[in-house]
């Protein structure tokens, strides 16, 4: 069954679906410059760690493709060194769009390494640009395949755990946080991919997902994806996770990740930590599903992960739904943004992510397989999977 899409490309044109307007309006926006990609990521028109990495890589590739076709050639194609300076500038700029998801940095570092290698190999500027275009497209294309791999690994592992407890016949209720499906990746998804895989193989009873306020990635995006895929599902407010665990047979919690340290501490959408604490209390397996590129070996533990804080206003309004309050001559609708707090609050705490310590995580699933902690240990050793 086809899922939704975050990025579409054809004949060198890149378009993203404006996620600020989903699910009520599906509007595709063309991204033709690095500045537009930066703005789209920063303003959350596109979000989700793998999707923003794919957009960055594709935009660099498309910028270079256009340069190669331009007549006259732009000055930066004069020599390998002018090209290197130009591309490095763009890579560092796009890297500043959002700080927590390491996938963006991993994608730009990968392009930077190709650039370095091709310059060292003595290639001319045009050949180096070709190498970068190939790599940029590959970063996007490889995402869907690895998402399917990790989803299968995670689902099979989970079913084995339940079979070991003598529950091989039962279908699973799985809760998730935020949005980790097709809209957050180049396709299929990570934690939502695992849920989709269970559904496709007839082993899912029901998916549960938190609203994930204040941006409502759950109630807007995960809701829309699950509806599109016809997956039985139930939404809950972020404050209802404890109640859900007390009253429903939840078999597992599966979440995505924006950055995983080498010990396994995991930054993900704010609210993930709350769910992990409650899952531990209720002895519910808590699984992180993410590509290997989300593991940051340079960081030992979660206290060093840079956590993005979003503007205060974003936590004071309800937005994202598009009401046809007015339709102008061009047929454009206005977005309704409703203030829910008194104006001018004294203080607003609005981190976009929190860190779940490895101690609370049962397994980390990547395209390479399932990592668990050694008996008696409270952290993972992820050095071998990266
Ligand atoms: O702020 P967002 O919407 O970009 O946050 C997204 C998440 O936290 C996801 O869980 C994470 O990026 C993994 S997406 C496969």
Which regions of the chain carry the CATH code 3.40.50.10470? Answer: 152-306+348-370
Per-residue pLDDT band for 320 (boundaries 50, 70, 90) equals low
Predicted confidence (pLDDT) at residue 357 exceeds the cutoff of 60: yes
pLDDT above 70: residue 96: yes
What is the C-alpha separation between 307 and 55, in angstroms, rounded?
Answer: 21
CB 173 within 8 A of CB 208: yes
List pLDDT tens digits, range 186-221.
999 999 999 999 999 999 999 999 999 999 999 999
Strand residues in the chain grouped as ranges (E):
7-10, 13-17, 28-30, 172-176, 204-210, 233-236, 252-255, 259-261, 266-269, 286-289, 295-296, 317-318, 338-339, 353-356, 363-366, 369-372
Among 217, 238, 274, 320, the mutation site with the greatest number of ligand 1 atoms within 8 A of its Cβ is 217
**Mean local confidence (pLDDT), 79-101:** 97
Q: Tell me the fold of 5-141.
A: 1.20.120
pLDDT at position 247: 95
6, 20, 46, 49: residue to mutate for ligand 1 pocket, most atoms within 8 A of CB: 49
* Structure tokens belonging to residue 193: 């991919």
Region 236-264 average pLDDT: 97
- Helix 49-69 crosses helix 34-42 at what angle (to 10 degrees)? 170
Work out whether the CA dihedral 85, 89, 95, 96 comes out positive or negative.
positive
The three-point CA angle 91-96-97 to 5° equals 105
- Listed in order, the ranges of the chain carrying CATH 1.20.120.420 are 5-141
Distance 144 CA to ligand 1 centre (A): 16
User: Which of the given ranges, 111-115, 245-249, 344-348, has the highest pLDDT on average?
Assistant: 111-115
Q: Which of 229, 146, 159 is nearest to 190 (CA)?
A: 146
Mutate which of 6, 18, 19, 47 for ligand 1? The one with the most ligand atoms within 8 Å of its CB, which is 47
The rounded Å distance from CA 302 to ligand 1 centre is 17
Nearest atom (ligand 1) to Cα of 181: 15
375-384 per-position pLDDT tens digit: 999 999 998 8
Q: Is the pLDDT of residue 20 over 80?
A: yes
Atom of ligand 1 nearest to the CA of 268: 8
CA of 71 to the centre of ligand 1 (A): 40
Q: How far apart are CA 105 and CA 100, in angstroms?
A: 9
323: left (phi over 0), alpha (psi -120 to 50) or beta: beta
Name the strands in the sheet holding 28-30, side by side, starting at the edge strand that comes first in the sequence: 7-10, 13-17, 28-30
Which fold does the domain 152-306+348-370 belong to in CATH? Rossmann fold (3.40.50)
Q: Is 37 within 8 Å of 94 (Cβ atoms)?
A: yes
Q: Which atom of ligand 1 is nearest to the CA of 212?
A: 3
Which segments of 96-124 does DSSP mark as H helices, in order? 102-120
Range 19-48 average pLDDT: 94
Give the Å distance between the CA of 221 and the centre of ligand 1.
Answer: 11
Q: What is the pLDDT of residues 136-173, one digit of tens each?
A: 999 999 999 999 999 999 999 999 998 888 877 789 99
The pLDDT value given to residue 344: 87
**Residues annotated catalytic, as ranges:** 258
Rounded to the nearest integer, the mean pLDDT of the chain is: 93
Contact (CB, 8 A) for 182 and 6 = yes
290 CA → ligand 1 middle, Å: 10
Give 300-323 as a DSSP string: -SGGGSPPPB--THHHHEE-----
Confidence of residue 25 (pLDDT cuts 50, 70, 90): confident
Residue 119 has pLDDT above 80, yes or no: yes
- Asked if residues 232 and 207 have their Cβ atoms less than 8 Å apart, the reply is yes
Q: Which atom of ligand 1 is nearest to the CA of 294?
A: 13
pLDDT-derived band at 3 (thresholds 50, 70, 90) equals low
Closest CA to 257 of 53, 1, 45: 53
Name every protein residue with a CB atom under 6 angstroms from any ligand 1 atom.
47-50, 101, 178, 180, 184-185, 190, 217, 256-258, 268-269, 352
Q: Which of 5-9, 306-310, 319-323 has the lowest mean pLDDT?
A: 319-323
């Amino acid at each position: 069954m086809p899922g939704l899409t975050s990025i579409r490309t054809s004949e060198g044109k890149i378009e993203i679906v404006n996620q600020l307007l989903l699910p009520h309006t599906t509007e595709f926006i063309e991204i033709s410059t690095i500045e537009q990609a930066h703005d789209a990521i920063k303003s959350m028109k596109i979000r989700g760690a793998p999707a923003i990495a794919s957009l960055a890589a594709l935009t660099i590739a498309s910028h270079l493709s256009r340069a190669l076709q331009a007549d006259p050639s732009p000055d930066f194609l004069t020599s390998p060194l002018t090209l290197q300076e130009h591309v490095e500038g763009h890579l560092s700029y796009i890297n500043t769009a959002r700080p927590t998801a390491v996938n963006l940095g991993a994608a730009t570092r990968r392009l930077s390494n190709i650039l370095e290698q091709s310059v060292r190999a003595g290639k001319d500027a045009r050949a180096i640009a070709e190498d970068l275009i190939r790599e940029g497209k590959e970063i996007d294309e490889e995402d869907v395949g690895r998402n399917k791999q990790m989803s299968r690994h995670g689902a099979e592992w989970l079913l084995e755990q339940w079979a070991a407890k003598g529950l091989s016949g039962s279908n699973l209720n799985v809760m998730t946080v935020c949005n980790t499906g097709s809209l957050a990746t180049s396709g299929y998804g990570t934690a939502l991919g695992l849920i989709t895989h269970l559904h496709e193989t007839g082993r899912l009873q029901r998916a549960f997902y938190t609203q994930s306020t204040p941006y409502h990635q759950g109630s807007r995006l995960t809701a829309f994806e699950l509806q599109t895929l016809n997956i039985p599902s139930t939404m809950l407010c972020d404050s209802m996770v404890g109640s859900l665990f007390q009253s429903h047979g939840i078999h597992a919690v599966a979440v995505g990740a924006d950055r995983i340290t080498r010990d396994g501490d995991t930054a993900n959408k704010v609210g993930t930590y709350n769910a992990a604490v409650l899952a531990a209390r209720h002895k519910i397996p808590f699984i992180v599903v993410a590509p290997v590129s989300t593991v940051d070996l340079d960081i030992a533990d979660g206290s060093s992960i840079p956590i993005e804080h979003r503007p205060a206003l974003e936590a004071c309004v309800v937005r994202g739904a598009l009401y046809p309050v007015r339709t102008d001559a061009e047929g454009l609708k206005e977005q309704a943004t409703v203030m829910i707090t008194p104006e001018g609050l004294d203080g607003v705490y609005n981190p976009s992510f929190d860190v779940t310590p490895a101690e609370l995580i049962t397994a980390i699933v990547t395209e390479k397989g399932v990592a668990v902690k050694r008996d008696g240990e409270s952290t993972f050793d992820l050095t071998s999977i990266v």
